[in-house]
Amino acid sequence: MKVYAHRGASDQYPENTMLAFTQAIEKGADGIEADVQLSKDGICVLIHDETINRTSNGMGWVKDYTYRELLEFEFNNGKDVEEWVKIPNLEQLLALAKEKKIPLVLDLKTDCIDYIGLEEKVYDLVKKYGLLDQVIFSSSNMDSLTKLKGIDPTIQAGYVFERRFEDNAIKARHYKIEYLHPRYSMLTDNIVKKALENGLKLNVWTPNKEENLEMVNDYGVNMCITNRVLAAKKIVNKEKS
């Protein structure tokens, strides 16, 4: 089982920030998961929520601020960190991934807001950095994934969901999506068996408690996307020893 850092090492550091991403690499993560949205001036920024309310000292919608305006806020997400933490743009993470040779899951947050052109912008940047073979494009919006597949059928894509596993598995197969990204609590022996029989790889989110990390590891999933990189790596390494 591969261990990907959910929004970076977000158990200890502000989520979706360069600090969290670099710390995830230090902790031995096999890859990093991050969320992508668009600023008012069309910059791909890394943030999960559609507003900045929860993770910064500001208020309002991401889409209503230019990137320069977003940089005026502190994105420490309530974490006790010494430095002023800024919202990163996608290129900063791609540069880090290229330098450190670390794979990524990029989750396009288009389920609530239809960010016009987000798919093309993300694809073009990933291609610019030569990382198409190192990135899984994910979304809970199948339209975004089919747009990406229309741009380049060879990309790797993952469909995010937390309900109706079998219906979504059928949908993923129909659209030639390689990965299912269900919530970890959806897993059962039968579901895992059927997914594997149909050639669908399972990348589950967010098992964080040790018993849940052990459970998904025992199921033999392809990847767990977790806030607790060290705990997950300990379980994986224990099995290998």
* Residues recognised as catalytic: 6, 48
* Cβ(41)–Cβ(71) below 8 Å: no
Distance (Å, rounded) from C-alpha 207 to C-alpha 232? 9
Q: How many CA atoms lie within 13 A of 209 on its CB side?
A: 5
Distance (Å, rounded) from C-alpha 63 to C-alpha 37? 8
Distance (Å, rounded) from C-alpha 141 to C-alpha 108? 8
Q: Which of 117, 107, 113, 110 is nearest to 46 (CA)?
A: 107
Distance (Å, rounded) from C-alpha 157 to C-alpha 160? 10
Q: Which two tokens stand for residue 35?
A: 């969320």
Distance (Å, rounded) from C-alpha 130 to C-alpha 145? 20
Distance (Å, rounded) from C-alpha 215 to C-alpha 218? 5
Q: Rounded to 5 degrees, what are φ and ψ at 52?
A: -95, 5
Torsion, CA 28, CA 109, CA 150, CA 177, rounded to 10: 60
Residues 6+ apart with CB under 8 A from 143: 110
